[in-house]
Amino acid sequence: MGKTDRRRGRIKTPLGATVVSALLLAFASPALAEENEKGGHDGGGFFSKFYPLGDRLPVSRLSDEYIPFQSVDEIPPRLKLLFELGNPFLEIGNLTPGFSLPGGAVWQPRLWVFGTYRSALQSFDPGTTLRTTEWVNRFDLFANLQLTNTEKIVFGIRPLDHNRFGQFSGYNIENRADTSSDWNNEFDSSVRTLFFEGDFGSLMPNLDPEGIRPIDFGFTIGRQPFLFQDGVLLNDTLDAFGIIRNNIRFGGISGMRLAALWAWGDLDRNDTRRDPQPNLFSLNTSIDTWRRTVEADLLYVDDDTANGDAWYFSALSTQTIGNFNTTFRFNSSFAEDADTSSVADGFLIAAEISWTPHHSDDIVYINPFWAIESFTQAGREPIAGGSLAPLGIMFASNNIGNFRSELSNATSEVAGIAMGYQAFFDNFRRNLILEVAARVDTSGDSTGRDDYAVGFQLQQKLKQRYLVQLDGFFSLRDKRDDAFGWRTELLIQF
């Protein structure tokens, strides 16, 4: 990976030079696009050789060409799932008639089995402990019993891992805990997903034959993953019952969603430790107006153990400001008792700002954040990234093996930023993310640490089921040795 001059903090690596140079061009300003326009799309402007980085697309208009309707023989063949019983997934042709229930619902059962296999070879040196080099595997397998378009039962397992860092099947080449090389068998038959979801109106259509009564309430019950605030507030798999009402309309809005949730099991607190006796209650709402989308969430965790009860409130607003796509986030946590590693008083304020360069589908993003006191998540799956994961790849976990986030996800008295550029090539078959990120201690304590990282992620699609991903990073860390790592992954969709 090269050497680092720690006296001056300069990155002397090809990776660092490439990423920093690209980002300097990308972040100069969206005004670069105007420079390109003035100089002409075909290289007249100076920056047009570098910006955008991805495929360049001409400005197009609606076509005058008549495209006839395709016959059955002209439609390309679909990819089949692992197993299909009943009406195949996305197949053409007539559907089976099904059967009627007493309430008037017509069920057309079909069973679809599908999955995702991931295999990664990765190595990283955290600077504080021994280097880890490993080959690890993960397989997410699901069975979906689709009864109607709204009613279904979903079952899922992950037989190759135990959902914990270091507990994935594979081979330890170098391990920071055990320098010996050995095979790691982490077979697990635990049920990771099992839930039923539906809609009261669809289950009992005879109660509202004209479709005018407000009985269309969606519901779900069972074990399934939940994401609140894109994972900033909650990112966990829970045993829960939820109910939702969509398309609530009144003056000044185009639509409103209101949901309530009660979870009674499998809650992992902010320290990723499983709570044996949790009760999580939440109210969630989303409102669409003609200018923005606003979301708000109120959660309460009732905990009979020493982890502590807590309240959580979050809000976000997503809108377009000029040529910029923006999201502003506010998240808070309040412990009813003394602060612990599971829950503490704190706030997390973040923004996500992005734009698309002219003549491309590329994305430039700048995501700053500020944590006041100690914000804690309501729930966090053990291998999931923390509250900062949605802000950039340097804060996100790959969710496989021992390879965690390049920069810490802790949100206690810290401010930082993630800035990146995502370029698309070959008709979206390949994409490249270049990112620089930083987190700076704001506590004023002499033990506080400032960390900086630069990294990339390259994804290449192979045929239709396969994807290869390459990652690399280098981080400059205050008062500790620098860290670096790389990984390559093969992903197969079944």
- pLDDT computed for residue 290 by the predictor: 87
Q: How far is CA 418 from the centre of its chain?
A: 15
Tens digits of per-residue pLDDT, 327-369? 999 999 999 988 888 899 999 999 999 999 988 999 999 999 9
- pLDDT computed for residue 80 by the predictor: 93
Quickly list DSSP for 216-244: -EEEEEEEEEEEEGGGTSEEEEEEEEEEE
- pLDDT computed for residue 17 by the predictor: 45
pLDDT of 265 strictly over 50: yes
- pLDDT computed for residue 45 by the predictor: 60
Tens digits of per-residue pLDDT, 26-42? 454 455 545 455 544 44
Question: 245: pLDDT confidence band, cut at 50, 70 and 90?
Answer: very high
How much of the chain is in helix, strand and coil states, percent to nearest 5?
Answer: 10, 50, 45
- pLDDT computed for residue 451 by the predictor: 94
End-to-end CA distance of the chain: 35
- pLDDT computed for residue 295 by the predictor: 96
pTM: 0.86
CB neighbourhood size of 328 (10 A): 15
Phi/psi at 254 (nearest 5 deg)? Answer: -95, -20
The whole-angstrom separation of Cα 450 and Cα 416 is 9
In our burial notation (b when 16+ CB lie closer than 10 A, e otherwise), range 157-166 reads bbbbbbbebb
Q: Could you tell me the two tokens for 88?
A: 């195949």
Q: Could you tell me the two tokens for 71?
A: 């016959």
pLDDT of 278 strictly over 90: no
Query: Which range is least confidently modeled, 75-79, 84-88, 291-295, 317-321?
Result: 75-79
Query: Which range is least confidently modeled, 101-115, 151-165, 198-212?
Result: 198-212
Cβ atoms of 267 and 280 within 8 Å: the answer is: yes
Cβ atoms of 46 and 350 within 8 Å: the answer is: no
The whole-angstrom separation of Cα 203 and Cα 150 is 9
Mean pLDDT for the stretch of residues 104-109: 92
Cβ atoms of 414 and 440 within 8 Å: the answer is: yes
Give me the CATH topology for the region 13-25+101-493.
Porin (2.40.160)
Phi/psi at 33 (nearest 5 deg)? Answer: -65, -40
The sign of the CA dihedral 66, 68, 69, 72 is negative
